[in-house]
Chain A
Amino acid sequence: MYRISIFLLLFGIWIVFSGQFDAFHLALGLISTALVTAISSDFFFADRSRGTGARIQEIVRIPWYLSWMLYQILLSNLHILKLALSPGDLPEVQPKLVRIKTGLKTDFAKWFLANSITLTPGTITIDIEGDELLIHSISEVTTTGVEDDAMERKIASVFERGNN
């Protein structure tokens, strides 16, 4: 089941990248995709204990989160633009290291949270140790923004709703 979905995914990527539909190229694509699937299919989907239904629910919920994320990326770029073009000796730049705790369980959700923190305005994740995240924040406003856990609750509602 997992192998077939990985095979189809890789074959789709092959078709997009080669852009040729004659028999020779399609046969080459089949051979190389099968080879890659046989060698490295264990790398994807590390946690196979969950059923297909939960997996599909997760996939349906991700796009909502991603569209919210895109809006956050736009805000963070505007923030950087505002900071970079502010006159004088950059009065709003007041960097600080912050440490926050997270309640997320799986590695994938933690990775998602770290990437989301990096992409939201003014904060970068430096390190994850167990359930603590070390964060560098660029100004006072964003320091207070990262300490409430709105984003973590959003991610938990995407990935860990079915687990409890």
Chain B
Amino acid sequence: MIINTVCIVLVLLGIIFFVGGAVGIVRFPDFYTRMHAAGKGDTMSVFMVLVGLAVYQLSDFTLANLLIAGKILFITIFIMWASPTSTHALIKAGLEEGQKVWTRNDKKETEDEQ
């Protein structure tokens, strides 16, 4: 029973973080800021959902279930290691392709007046 509660709480928290990433990808103004939402909104949420599922898997404790939980944890570690790497590769490709860095308009106008 405690294990079920822990699993539900972790998965729900993960889904809340997923919401942050998805809304950020839609709302942010330029490529680089979208990259922030894509690269970071996905690490902690994947960690929480998958750790919750691994905990649930261990509620019926056998060797096979232990191996499956180990595999789920391996997926978690792999995604948390791969996410910054692919973020870095994609944002560098975007910079070299010539994406403009979006800046706030009101700032630019005051600079022009001076």
Query: Are A and B genuine complex partners?
Result: yes
Q: Identify B44's interface contact among A74, A83, A96, A136, CB under 8 A.
A: A74
B52 at interface, CB cutoff 8 A = no
Q: Is the CB of B71 within 8 A of A95?
A: no
User: Could you say which of A35-43, A50-58, A113-121, A155-163 contacts chain B?
Assistant: A113-121
Q: Is the CB of B23 within 8 A of A85?
A: yes
Rounded to whole angstroms, the CA-CA distance of A18 and B84 in the bound complex is 28
Chain B residues with CB below 8 A from A73, complex form: 40, 43-44, 47, 80
- Given contacts A19-B67, A80-B21, A81-B16, is CB(A122)–CB(B28) below 8 Å? no
A126 at interface, CB cutoff 8 A = yes
Closest Cβ–Cβ distance, residue A53 to chain B (whole Å): 26
Q: Is the CB of B64 within 8 A of A81?
A: no
Chain A residues with a Cβ under 8 A of chain B: 16-17, 19, 70, 73-74, 76-77, 80-81, 83-85, 90, 93-97, 114-115, 118-119, 122, 124-127, 136, 138
